[in-house]
Structure 1
Amino acid sequence: MPESFSDPLRAVPESEPQPDLERGDSLSVDTARDSIDYHDSSPLLERTSTSTTTQTVITSSGLSRTETNKLPPLKQLGVLDRYLALWIFLSMVVGISTGYFFPDIGSKLEKGGLAGVSIPIATGLLIMMYPIMCKVQFESLHRLLVVKTLWVQVAISLFINWIVAPMVMVGLAWLFLPDRPELREGLIMVGIARCIAMVMIWIELSEGDSDYGAILTAVNSLLQMVLFAPTAMFYINVIGNSPDHLQISYSVVAKSVAIFLGIPLLIAVITRVILRGHVISTKAYDTKFISFLEPFSLLGLLFTILILFASQGREVITQLTSVLRVVAPMFAYFVILFFGTLWLCHRLGYTYKICSAQAFTAASNNFELAIAVVVSFYGISSTQALAATVGPLLEVPVLLSFVYIIQYYREKITWGTKGSSEIL
C-alpha cells in the first residue's frame, strides 16, 4: 500500500481494494487536509462544520468516499456581517429622516462629552471598538522574535500600510476632489487608519494565512497608538496642503486615539489575559465569548452612524452629490491597494496564503477609528465625518467581491513557495 495512505486521513481502509487511479477514483490527501482544522488540544483530527458540507459518494469501483464542499464565501459570513452594508444604509436612512423631521437634534448632540464628543457618540464608539480589540491575538507577537524570516514579510506589510496606502488615498482624494478639502480630510483619515478587525474575516474566507494575519493585526493595533496622530498631521497638514482652518492638532488627535483606541485596547488585553485559558478555555473564548461580543461592535457602529446622520439630517440631503463623489476615490483605493499588493507579493515569490493575507491587510481600513477621530476633531455634523462614513458602506461589498476573485484565480496562477505557513 502506498505510504501516503498510512495516516489518519486515509479514505480507504487497508483491507479494501485500492481505487483505480486511471478512472479517477483516488482521493486527494492534500485536498482532505485543506478541508480540516487542526486543534492542539486534541490528538485527533476534528472537522469544523461552519464553512463546509460533506457528502458520501459511491465511486465507479464501488467504494464510498466522503467529499467536502466548501460553502460560498457569502454564506460563510454570519447574518450580521453578510448584510453589513444593508444595516449601515438603513441606519443612514433612519438617521437622515430623524434629523430632517427634528432639525434641532443636531445642536443637542453637539453638547459636551468625552474628548469633544457627545456622550451618545462616545458611548457608541467605545462599544464599537472593544469587541474588535478582544479579537486581536496579541500573544502571536512573540513569533516576531523567534522567526526572522517573518520580519521581511512584516516589513513589506508595514511599508504598504503606513507609507503607500495613505499616499495613494491622498493622491486619489486630490484627483477626484480638488475643490472639496473637507471631503479630502475625511478620506485621508480613512486611508491612515489601518484595519484590525474585518481583515481577519476576509483572510479566512479567502483561505489566506490566518496566523500571519493575526500577527499583522496585532502589530497594527499597537502602531496605531503611536503613529496615527503624527501620520495624520503629515498627510493632512503637509502633504495634503490643507487650509489653515482645517489643519489638525497633534494633541487633539493623539487624545482621541488614546481614548477611543487606547481604552478599548487596554480593557481588551486585560480581558484576554484573564479569561482566555484561565477563567474559560481558549476554544470557548475564541468561539463563544467572541461570538457573544461581535454583535455589540456592529450595534455600536450602527448607533454611531445613526446619530451622526441624525445630526446632519437636512445637510446630507442637500449634499447627496458630495456623498456620491466620495465613492469613486474610495473604490479606486480598494482596487489599487488590493491588486497592487497581490501583484507585488506574487512577483516576490510568496505563497497564495501569504499573498492573500498581505493584499487584504493593505486594502482594509479601521473605519471605526477614523470615524471616532474625525467626529472628535471636526465635529459630528462636519463634512469630514460624512465622508468617513462612506468607508464601511463601500468596503464590505467590495472586499467580499475580492474574496471571490482571488479564489477564482487561485488555481489558475502559479504561486511561489516563499513564506509558507510552516514558518509560523
Structure 2
Amino acid sequence: MSRFERYLTVWVALCIVVGVALGHLFPRAFQTIGAAEVAKVNLPVAVLIWLMIIPMLMKVDFAAMRQVGSHWRGISVTLFINWAVKPFSMAALAALFIGGIFRAYLPAAEINSYIAGLIILAAAPCTAMVFVWSNLCRGEPNFTLSQVAVNDAIMVVAFAPIVGLLLGLSAITVPRQTLLISVGLYIVVPVILAQLFRSVLMRGGEARLNQALGRIGPVSLTALLATLVLLFGFQGEQIVRQPLIIAILAVPILIQVYLNSGLAYLLNRLSGEAHCVAGPSALIGASNFFELAVAAAISLFGFSSGAALATVVGVLIEVPVMLTVVAIVNASKGWYERGAAVQRVAARAQRPDAGRSGAG
C-alpha cells in the first residue's frame, strides 16, 4: 500500500472539512455544478467516478469471467444481504430510531418522510463506488464486476416493488430514466473504455499494463477525494443549518452499514469463500446506489423533503464509513482465513482431482 493510500482517512477528513466550508461559503458555485445533470444524474460527479473506476476495471480480464461461477458462495451471500436483508433491516432501524427513540428531536411533520428516505436509500445496492472499495481491500475484480452486473439487472425490476411494499404504497413511480442512465454512465461506458485501454496496453505485454496501472493508480484516489469535496459542498449549507437532524439520520445508516457488512463477511467465512471475494461481498452488501436513491426521493417527495435529506445524509457518510469497513476487512484477513470452512474449501481446491470433480 502506498503512502497516499495509508493516509487516505486523513485526506478524507480534510476533504469533508473543505467541502463543507466551500459549500457554505460559495453555495451558488456548487448549485451551478449540481445543476449540470441529465435525468438527475450529475455529470461532473459521473466524470469523477469514471476517473475512479476505469483504472480498476482495467484489471478485469473478461476471459477469466467464466471462472466467477466458482465464487457462487459470495454471489449468493451478497444477493441475500442486498435483497432479503438490507431494505427490511433499514425499515426496522428507521422505525426504531426515527419513529421512536429520536422522534421528539425531529420535526413531527417530517418523521414519515425521513423514514421513507432511509428505506429508499437501503433498497438501492451500490454500483460504481464498489469498484473503489473492492480495490482497496484487494478484492477479486472479476467477481466484483459480475456481482455489480447481477445487482443492476435485479434492481431494474425489484427496486420499485420493494420500496412500494415497505412504504405501503400501491404504486410507486421510479425514475427509470435515471436508473438506466446511471447504469450506463457508471457501469457500461466505463467498462467499455477500460477494456479498450486494456487491450491497447496488453499489446505490450502484461508488464506494460501493470506499469500503466501503477502510474494511474493515484488518479483514482484523487478523483475519490474530489468527489467527496463536491458531495459535501453540495450540502454545506444543510450541514451547517441542521447538524442535529443530520446526526440523528446518520445513526440508523451507520448501524445498517456495519450490521450488513458484518453479516455478509461472517456468512462468507462460514461458507468457506475466499477472502478476496468476501471483502467485496461485504462491501457491496453494505453500500448504496446513492444517485438513484436521491433521485427517487426527490421524484416521490420533493427536493426539500425529509426523504431527500435522508438520502443525502447517506451520500455524506458513505465514503468515510465504507473506508472503516475496508480497514476492518483488511485487518481481519488473518482471522478470516483461519476459519475452518475457509481452510477446508481451500484445501479441497488444491487437490489434484479438484478440477475434475467440480469441487470448490
Per-residue deviation at 1:396?
Answer: 1.1
Other-structure match for 1:216? 143
Once residues 309 and 343 of structure 1 are traced to their aligned partners in structure 2, the CA distance between those partners, rounded to angstroms, is 32
- Residue from 267, 275, 284 that aligns with 1:365: 284
Contact 1:330 1:391 in 2 (8 A): no
Deviation at 1:267, TM superposition (A): 1.0
Identify the residue that residue 263 of structure 2 maps to in structure 1. 340
User: Is the 1:199–1:361 Cα contact (8 Å) retained in structure 2?
Assistant: yes
Aligned-partner Cα distance in 1 for 2:321–2:246: 12
Task: State the match for 1:196 in structure 2.
Answer: 131
Aligned residue for 2:183, secondary structure, equals: helix
Shift of 1:307: 2.2
Cα gap change, 1:404 to 1:298, in 2 (>3 Å)? closer
**Does the alignment pair 1:291 with 2:226?**
no
Q: 1:249 aligns with which of 175, 198, 201?
A: 175
For the residues of structure 1 that align with 2:322 and 2:71, how far apart are their CA atoms?
29
Q: CA deviation at 1:184?
A: 0.6
Q: Normalised by the size of structure 1, how large is the TM-score? A: 0.64
1:295, 1:165 → 2: CA distance? 35
Q: Please report how far the alpha carbon of residue 262 of structure 1 lies from its aligned counterpart in structure 2 after TM superposition.
A: 1.7
CA contact (8 A) 1:341 1:358 kept: no
C-alpha distance in 1, partners of 2:260/2:287? 19
Q: Give the letter aligned to residue 184 of structure 1.
A: L
What's the CA shift for 1:221?
Answer: 3.5
**For 1:307, which of 216, 230, 251 is the aligned residue?**
230
Residue 163 of structure 1: aligned partner: 83
Deviations 1:264-290 (A, max 9, x none): 1221122223322x1x221331x3222
> In 2, distance between residues paired with 1:81 and 1:164?
34
Alignment-derived partner of residue 199 in structure 2: 273
The answer (yes or no) to whether the contact 1:183–1:387 under 8 Å persists in 2 is: no
The aligned runs of 1:11-410 (5 Å cut-off) are: 77-144=1-68, 150=70, 152-153=72-73, 155-164=75-84, 166-167=86-87, 168-178=89-99, 179=111, 180-181=114-115, 183-184=117-118, 187-188=121-122, 191-193=125-127, 195-202=130-137, 204=138, 213-241=140-168, 248-276=174-202, 278=203, 280-285=204-209, 287-348=210-271, 350=272, 354-365=273-284, 370-374=289-293, 383=309, 384-408=311-335, 410=337
CA distance 1:98–1:419, shift in 2 (3 Å): same
Q: Tell whether the 8 Å contact from 2:20 to 2:236 is kept in structure 1 after alignment.
A: yes
Q: Using the TM superposition, name which of 179-188 and 94-103 deviates more.
A: 179-188
Distance of 2:282 and 2:83 partners within structure 1 = 13
**In proportion to residue count, which structure has more helix?**
2
- Report the residue type matching 2:76 in the other structure: I
The ranges of structure 1 where at least 4 consecutive aligned residues each deviate by more than 6 angstroms after the TM superposition are: 366-369
Instruction: Point out where structure 2 has 5 or more consecutive residues left out of the alignment.
Output: 100-110
C-alpha distance in 1, partners of 2:170/2:17?
32
Give 1:143 deviation, angstroms.
2.1
CA separation of 1:225/1:294 partners in 2, compared to 1, >3 Å: closer, same or farther?
A: farther
Larger Rg belongs to: 1
CA distance in 1, matches of 2:339, 2:153: 41
Structure 1: state its 5+ residue gaps.
1-76, 205-209
**SS of the counterpart of 1:136?**
coil
Q: Could you say if the C-alpha distance between residues 200 and 312 of structure 1 is closer, same or farther in structure 2, counting changes exceeding 3 Å? A: closer
Q: 1:218 to 1:373 in 2, by over 3 A?
A: same
C-alpha spacing 1:118/1:395, structure 2 compared with 1 (3 Å) = closer
Separation of aligned partners in 1, 2:127 and 2:167? 16
* Number of the residue aligned with 2:344: 417
**184-193 or 299-308: which moved more?**
184-193
Flag the structure with more relative contact order, 1 or 2, with Cα contacts below 8 A and sequence separation at least 6.
2
Which of 299-308 and 112-121 deviates more?
112-121
Deviations 1:324-361 (A, max 9, x none): 3354334433443344334434544x2xxx25345323
Contact 2:124-2:155 within 8 A present in 1 as well:
no
In structure 2, C-alpha distance between the alignment counterparts of 1:377 and 1:228, rounded to whole Å: 13
Displacement, 1:309? 2.3
Paired position in structure 2 for 1:53: none
1:101 positional shift: 1.9
For 1:135, what is the secondary structure of its paired residue? Answer: coil
Cα deviation, 1:282-317, whole Å, max 9, x if unaligned, reads: 1331x3222223222222222222223223222111
Deviation at 1:87, TM superposition (A): 2.1
Percent identical pairs in the alignment equals 16
- Change in 2 beyond 3 A, CA 1:355/1:98: same
- Shift of the alpha carbon at 1:219? 0.9
Q: Structure 1 CA distance, aligned partners of 2:196 and 2:219?
A: 19
One-letter amino acid of the counterpart of residue 325, structure 2:
V
**Aligned residue pair count:** 328
Q: Normalising by the residue count of structure 2, what TM-score does the alignment of the two structures yield?
A: 0.74
Cα RMSD of the aligned pairs, angstroms, is: 3.6
Question: What CA distance in whole angstroms lies between the structure 1 residues aligned with 2:242 and 2:117?
Answer: 11
Aligned partners of 2:4 and 2:314: how far apart in 1?
Answer: 23
